[in-house]
Structure 1
Amino acid sequence: MKSTVEQLSPTRVKINVEVPFDELKPNFDRAYRKIAQQVRIPGFRPGKAPARVLESRIGREPVLDEVVNEAIPVKYLEAVRAGEVRTLGQPDFEVTKLEDREVLEFTAEVDVRPEIALPDFAGLSVTVDEVEVTDEEVEQELESVRTRFGTLKGVDRPAQDGDFLSIDLAATVDGEEVEEAATTGLSYEIGSGQLVDGIDEAVVGASAGETRTFTTKLVAGKYVGRDADVKVTVNSVKERELPEADDDFAQLASEFDTIEEFTANLREQLARMKKVQQGVQARDKILDALLESVEVPLPEKVVEAEVSSRRHDAVHDLDHSEEALAKLLETQGTSIEEFNSELQTESEKAVRTQLLLDAIAEAEKITVDDAELTERIVYQAQRYGVSPDEYVRRAQESGQLTAIFADVRRGKALASVVRRATVTTASGAEVDLDELFGREDSAEAETPETPETPVPTGATEETPAENPAEK
């Protein structure tokens, strides 16, 4: 077999492959056996008819089709390995020459990982927020804890902001009942924003047993984007009583004896949380600085796959209806054109980010061990509320285990850059990020997650499509 690689662009190549028919003998043998099992020929048991008899009965063409469809993916992979081509996604095959008993020639156009010139990471510099905890923030945190220990008490007065109601809901669109919007005995906190627009204004001032009506735009379901007439009946009104912020409460809510000690601990917790946020901000700003300073050519097909994947996710809960998507966007004050533009921009950034981090990981020779991979799997399983075994099973079925591995590797790559960059606050103080990212020479260094960007659908090496001769 002969093969050559022709560079079409920084992100795409054409692989030209020439295969002598002598190399296809094993493929012909398998093709004859397969076809012989499918064709009934008098005088021969299934699978036992000789090749010449099969060809006389069905012709040479079906045999050639079977051989070509089987051989091209295998020979393509041989050419990829021989040329050390770093492919991305599925190739586009074309049979350019097929001379029976002589030669098979085909081409494969495929996206490839671009060459990326990386900067001196030590020259990167970003500014992040100061770690400051105000008295107001401590008070808000204390109020939040008191709220968790609060109790609900029924009141005999009209509902007001912050009250908890038990309500019944019913909705109609042009007189037709919206079944998915009907419910009874629903608990709702006024002002929480967890239900449809307009409900807070409707129920404030209502007493138990009173029914109010209002109009709202539906944001999901069969009538998405349509105006619905909603009827809400208030069954009961309750208010939350908070415990006093005293020593007794401190002992109830914590291991501390006094409210002063408990409040001081809340301040320390807020400071630690802001330190983590400071590290995340540094990570995100350094990534943005990298993306601005480094040219990352975009593989067209990979971006198209990412756009398609994100669009699929966007319309999945809308029964894949573009019309429903347009109506939903209208309720959000945007248009399908603006959505498409934002989708394209986000997809391009996602692909650029991951190609850049992959290049850094390769240059830094970053590896991922079993413990790191297991840690990410456990973390993701907790996020989705399933067991690690169940999460792994789903990942295997969807072919996402490789993507999880790549995501961990990218996180380590970004962390390696952050450690070498200069991070300061607005006042000029240098920030030590070892608490979040660990020291580079430390075996216990953490592997922070990469930014929340989906894995590009085509940004992995793929197995060629079946039946390439039909492409």
Structure 2
Amino acid sequence: MKATWEKIEKNKGVLNVEVGAEQVADALDKAFKKVVAKANIPGFRKGKVPRQIFEARFGIESLYQDALDILLPEVYVQAVEEAAIEPVDRPDVEIEQFGKGQALIFKATVVVKPEVQLGEYKGLEVAKQDNAVSEEEIEEELKRLQQRHAELVVLEEGTAEKGDIAVIDFEGSVDGVPFDGGKAEKHSLELGSGSFIPGFEDQVIGMAKGEEKDVNVTFPEEYQSEELKGKAAVFKVLVHDIKRKNLPELDDEFAKDVSEFDTLEEFKQDISKRLEERKTKANEQERESAVVEKAAAGAEVEIPDAMISTEVEQMYKEFSSRLGMQGMDINMYLQFTGQDEATVKQQMRTDAERRVRNNLVIEAIAKAENITATEEEINEELERLASQYQRSADELRAILSANGSLDSLGHDVTTRKTVAFLVENSKTAEEVA
């Protein structure tokens, strides 16, 4: 086999391939064995028709497509390796010659991974980060815990206030016509949460148990459902119950109930420590993101649309998976938000392009700095994942090898090392000053 690569545009080229007649003959043989097993010819059992009789009846051309289906994937991969290119999309293949006793000659128009022209990526300036925890942050965390451990008390008298849980029936209509998703029974709504259309919760505040009321609202212009954008609506609301949070006192008893500490002061010190650890980790991640974004902004790269589309598909799968873990499938989400798959994917394109750009720049920096994952580091990562998934490292390696994911494990390690390199070689604002 011979393969030559001819670049025709920045990220596109033509792969010219010639495959020997011997390989073509072998592919035709395999195609015959596949087809003859299903061929019906009077006087012969399936799979027992002689080759010459088959060709006389159906013609050798009847084997060509199956032979190409067998041969092309194999030789295309070999040609890509020989030409040392990295395709990022399916090739557009044009067969120039193929037949019995002939060589296979084809050309494949291929979109390849783009070249990256790196800008400055060492000494990048990032904002100074503060890991200190304020008293206000500690108090905010205590209030959050206080809310979580509050007792809900059903009010027999009085009216709903902000912060209460109103258990309501509601049915919405526009111009007297009910709309999809506008009806529910015994729905628990926290007043002031902002989870309903603006103005809805404000009008439920002040209602009493057993009271019915028409709530008048206007859907926002940016509402997800095209049919409801900017429309005035009326919701018939019935209040079944009002539940008020009975907050526990923030004292030593509270600390004993919700933690391992005997005093509120000890608990506050522990909260401060945990908040500092959380803030430190968040700041580290923010610094990593900042240096990668700056390095990517300084680079020049023309990203093929195919790479962005592939990333969008991956993001959509990840999004669907996250929804599944929350008990909602993607179809439920689309119905609830009034969107379709194409709209959601279009909204993902900007982030997808950013992710692709960042990954390409990180790869280019790794190559420029000769940063790679060592076998020891890959083994350490395998051990970490094995512990996480409660499997042996050898078993996990076998699984990853079988599905072709072992290389991606090394890629992940290399990526982390490269980001760490960028962080180590960055400067805070005060260092620059």
Does the pair score TM above 0.5? yes
Q: Given residue 63 of structure 2, which amino acid in structure 1 is its aligned partner?
A: V
Distance in 2 between the 1:241 and 1:290 partners?
51
State the 1:17 CA deviation: 0.5
Which residue pairs with 1:165 in the alignment?
A: 166
Which residue pairs with 1:33 in the alignment?
A: 33
Distance in 1 between the 2:151 and 2:296 partners?
50
Within-5 A mapping of 1:136-175: 136-155=136-155, 156-175=157-176
Which residue pairs with 1:366 in the alignment?
A: 373
Distance in 2 between the 1:168 and 1:352 partners?
49
- Which of the residues 233, 241, 255 maps onto 1:236? 241
Contact 2:28 2:63 (C-alpha < 8 Å) held by counterparts: yes
Contact 2:170 2:182 (C-alpha < 8 Å) held by counterparts: yes
State the 1:375 CA deviation: 5.0
State the 1:60 CA deviation: 2.6
Contact 1:361 1:409 (C-alpha < 8 Å) held by counterparts: no
Percent of counterpart pairs with the same letter?
27
- Which of the residues 412, 419, 429 maps onto 1:415? 419
Q: Given residue 295 of structure 2, which amino acid in structure 1 is its aligned partner?
A: L
Distance 1:256 1:196, change over 3 A: same
State the 1:129 CA deviation: 2.9
Contact 1:224 1:324 (C-alpha < 8 Å) held by counterparts: no
Instruction: Report which stretch shifted further, 13-22 or 365-374.
Output: 365-374
Distance in 2 between the 1:55 and 1:188 partners?
75
Ranked by relative contact order (alpha carbons within 8 Å, sequence separation 6 or more), the top structure is 1
Distance 1:304 1:149, change over 3 A: closer
Q: Deviations over 1:170-201 (max 9, x none)?
A: 23355454464433222221111233443212
Distance in 1 between the 2:226 and 2:407 partners?
35
Tell me how large the CA RMSD over aligned residues is: 3.9
Q: Deviations over 1:23-56 (max 9, x none)?
A: 2121111111222222211222211222221122
Within-5 A mapping of 1:39-50: 39-50=39-50
Distance 1:253 1:428, change over 3 A: farther
Quick check: 1:246 aligned with 2:247?
Answer: no
Distance in 2 between the 1:244 and 1:41 partners?
89
Within-5 A mapping of 1:26-175: 26-98=26-98, 100-118=100-118, 121-155=121-155, 156-175=157-176
Which residue pairs with 1:444 in the alignment?
A: none
Q: Deviations over 1:205-248 (max 9, x none)?
A: 11111122234549668966466532221112222122222222
Q: Given residue 274 of structure 1, which amino acid in structure 2 is its aligned partner?
A: K
Q: Given residue 45 of structure 2, which amino acid in structure 1 is its aligned partner?
A: R
Within-5 A mapping of 1:260-299: 260-299=265-304
Q: Deviations over 1:338-396 (max 9, x none)?
A: 995x65433321211222233445541125636535756987x9xxxxx99xxx9xx99
Distance in 2 between the 1:407 and 1:182 partners?
50
Q: Deviations over 1:122-180 (max 9, x none)?
A: 43332233233332222212211222222122332111111112112223355454464
The alignment partner of 2:77 has SS state of helix
Distance in 2 between the 1:131 and 1:202 partners?
42
Distance 1:324 1:11, change over 3 A: same
* TM-score, L = length of structure 2: 0.79
Quick check: 1:257 aligned with 2:266?
Answer: no
Residue-pair matches, total? 407
Which residue pairs with 1:185 in the alignment?
A: 186
Distance 1:161 1:180, change over 3 A: same
Distance 1:166 1:421, change over 3 A: same
Instruction: Report which stretch shifted further, 405-414 or 16-25.
Output: 405-414
* TM-score, L = length of structure 1: 0.74
Gaps of 5+ in 2: 321-328
Which residue pairs with 1:202 in the alignment?
A: 203
Contact 2:292 2:419 (C-alpha < 8 Å) held by counterparts: no
